[in-house]
Structure 1
């Protein structure tokens, strides 16, 4: 089995990057046959801006640009897509949102044509979300942000395309808790990522900036 771990953080020394590596280590430790690839969007210089070329793709009048095709190919090689990111303003960073805007395009992630049935094209894909934040769980619950993020990200993006969100791990209080605790959680997540017998349940936690 193969996982694509997408990381959206500008600093390679950040907890976010360390969590991604811990997940990868857990994947291989669970079964040496399993593999993973880390897509560091910041280091790779991915352009998250949805431009005229992307608009033409959405209208089904042009093929996707080369950088988008390359990202789609990486996803197609994966059994599970893991996204590791800090929570900015109760959502994902612009870099990751822009990656989704451009890569999860009409004709690839879904089929939309006026007057024709809507088709979800990512029903085969499993998604694991790992969000890192500085706030505590109570902050998310009091203001309804936990539910809002599920609606916006899990349902609004991946549910729209038919992909299965295995769980969202919110690793909260990232600026006050010992980072080893979150790294242990990430490693354990990697170990069970491809388990076919363990029932996955959401593990919630809070995050803003990491």
Structure 2
């Protein structure tokens, strides 16, 4: 089995990148393989442009950079997003990746006469957010629920994908990172076991 791990952080020395590496290591030790998509290092352009708008309207084929990302997902059995939490959501580069790659016609099909068709029902998704604030702040202000509504439901459920794990690692700048690194490796070790056994779903 193959997983695409998408990392949205500019600093390769960050905890975000270390967590992604641990997920990949867990996958390797469980007999699976992975590919890490480092959006910052690869220079993916997150700006939704006229060409993307034309794709949305079924007027043209996806640009080459978008088609390449879609092919990465097509050859994957699972998608893992690892990202720092910026302003209670994902960074702009990751949101732009979703804006452009999760296009009408490939991720979903919408028309006035046909309604909505979800086209990613085969895809299993795992989310790892890295937050500086504590869990109490997230719960007190409803940020945790807002993120799940926006990302887990609003993005992935909309196109039929199933979010199997959705974790936020809190106080990342002050806590010992070791437990988070261990948890990320565990996600990798159990990634495809989780896909086969929904009772193993983890939410942090």
1:6: which partner in 2? 6
Distance 1:101 1:135 in 2: 26
Choose from 188, 191, 194 the match for 2:189.
Answer: 191
What's the counterpart of residue 207 of structure 1?
none
**Residues 10-63 of structure 1 deviation map (CA, whole Å, 9 limit, x = unaligned):** 0001000000000000011122xx110000000000000000000000011111
TM-score (ref. length: structure 1)? 0.94
The answer for the alignment partner of 2:98 in structure 1 is 100
> C-alpha displacement at 1:198, in angstroms?
6.6
| Contact 2:164–2:198 (8 Å) recurs in 1 | no
User: After superposition, what is the alpha-carbon deviation per residue over 1:129-181, rounded to whole angstroms, capped at 9, x for unaligned?
Assistant: 00001111111100011111111001100010000000211111101111111
CA contact (8 A) 1:81 1:128 kept: yes
What number of residue pairs does the alignment pair up? 202
Provide the rounded CA distance (Å) in 1 between the counterparts of 2:173 and 2:137: 15
Mapping 1:1-210, distance limit 5 Å: 1-31=1-31, 34-195=32-193, 196-197=196-197, 199-204=199-204
Unaligned segments of structure 1, at least 5 residues: 205-210
- Greater fraction of residues in helix: 2
In 1: Cα distance, 2:161 partner to 2:198 partner: 19
The one-character-per-residue Cα deviations of 1:57-114 (angstroms, maximum 9, x if unpaired) are 0011111000000000000010000000000000000000000000000000000122
Question: CA-atom RMSD, angstroms?
Answer: 0.9
Residue of structure 2 in register with 1:208 after alignment: none
Report the secondary structure of 2:158's partner residue. Answer: helix
- Specify the SS of the correspondent of 1:174: coil
Note the C-alpha offset of 1:117: 3.0
Q: Distance in 2 between matches of 1:174 and 1:161?
A: 31
Please report how far the alpha carbon of residue 115 of structure 1 lies from its aligned counterpart in structure 2 after TM superposition.
Answer: 1.4
Is there any run of 5+ residues in structure 2 with no aligned partner, and where? none
